Amino acid sequence: MNRIIALTVLCTASLAAGVVVASPSLATAFRSHAPRIHHPKWVWQYSVSGAAPESTNPEAETDPSTAPKHARHHAADAWATTPAPSAATTPAAPTDTAPTTEPTTTEPTTTKPTTSHRPPELPRFTLRTVDARCFTAPTAAGGWPFAPTTAVHPIRGSFDEPRDPVHIGVDVEAPKDQAPVYAMQTGTVRHIAADHFDVYATHGRKGTYLQYWHIKLATGIKDGVVVRRREKLGTVKPTMKHVHISEYVPGCGLVDPARPTGLLADPYNTEWPTIGALSAYAAGSRAFVPLSLSQSPTDLTDPATPVDLNHLSGTVDLRASVSDMPKVRMQHGPQLPLAPAAIRAYLTPAGNTHRHLTMRLVFDGSKLLPSGGGLWRYWAFGTYRQNGCYFTADGTCGMQMVWHVGGPKGFNTRSVPNGSYRYCVEALTIAGVDARHCTAVTIAN
């Protein structure tokens, strides 16, 4: 510090005398005490997610190249909102009474606006911050169920995706019909049933096991037999063309075998999750309805009442599609999107999407989704999965996951003052890749 003061005095005296001083020491001092630069607001008005293909909102954040992930907009400290039309000129959308059944979820935290309090910055969003215990649950050494067992194989179906009603594991595509299946790790065979059996791991946490489905067992594979890693368990049953793997971990229950510490982790899974356009509906009983997950919504009518994003009032059901299209694609059929690993949603000031006014964890994929009535508090109308083309030439395949990103009872717009904001949906893949999509909304109660 003394050296900086001395150099400053020297520069002042030199400049007063009309002399320009070029000192390496002075340059070094300024490098270590760099001036703070304020960037224009528009630099930070985009997300890191990439474009939402179906979004038609010009205010939606879509450009991934203009917002460094850890950037902070220092100039947008003031979060005052733009006044919105009054309730007299913008009628509130009618709502019904919401059902009482709801899943276990993180309640939103709301920061009340004051003249002296800035909204908090966004907390980190990673698999560890969502559920470190189950997303990073260790597993014994092993490999994939098909040869070569050290190579990544295409994933045909993911954990926690729509089935009848929820998929309890991961489907790995077979390299050919009736392909040999190998033990992923050393363990003891237990609970042999008509279409599945368990292998309890010899090493690692006691009580951990893998469950294999759709395998015609080889001779000698019986209950109580110890199988070694890479030992042949049998062959894929005719026409199934995949093996299903579930994993159970004590303290977590069923977990995703494709998590970063799982045997089916894919190092090539570096793509962003896909986040669709935001939409709003009246948050009544018609917004949270049971779905036929095997039926395409193309010929169906959504019973919920749409609401204009520029005139939100009362409690609204906010929705967005979120999925993950893997880089390693199937070889013997069309690749369907996979489920994301986690989703959160939050309201931000209109001019600073790095601070939040409300925050909600929409989906935690570290464990299995509930299979009862609470499931419809996660998945909204438009969610379905069809895989008929995997079994017959004229079969139909398709998949979409639409999420209630406003929460299991909807988003209460009265928790913040009237004005203009952005509502952001952020998602993680099972590899921990992060993306978000923010949309301009106006609250007018």
pLDDT digits (tens, 9 = 90+) for 105-116: 444 444 444 444
What's the whole-number mean pLDDT along residues 412-423?
Answer: 97
pTM of the predicted structure, to 2 decimals: 0.76
What's the whole-number mean pLDDT along residues 256-282?
Answer: 97
Rg over CA atoms, the chain: 27
What's the whole-number mean pLDDT along residues 373-379?
Answer: 91
Per the listing, tokens 């917002």 go with: 67
Burial of 13 (0-12, 13-18, 19+ CB in 10 A): exposed
Per the listing, tokens 């929705």 go with: 319
What's the whole-number mean pLDDT along residues 198-224?
Answer: 96
pLDDT for the residue 92? 35
- Work out whether the CA dihedral 158, 162, 164, 165 comes out positive or negative: positive
Name which of 68-77, 368-377, 401-410, 411-420 the model is least confident about. 68-77
- pLDDT interval class at 19 (50, 70, 90): very low
What's the whole-number mean pLDDT along residues 15-31?
Answer: 39
CA distance 402 to 384: 9
pLDDT cut 90: percent of the chain above it: 69
- pLDDT interval class at 299 (50, 70, 90): confident
pLDDT score of 17 more than 80: no
pLDDT for the residue 162? 95
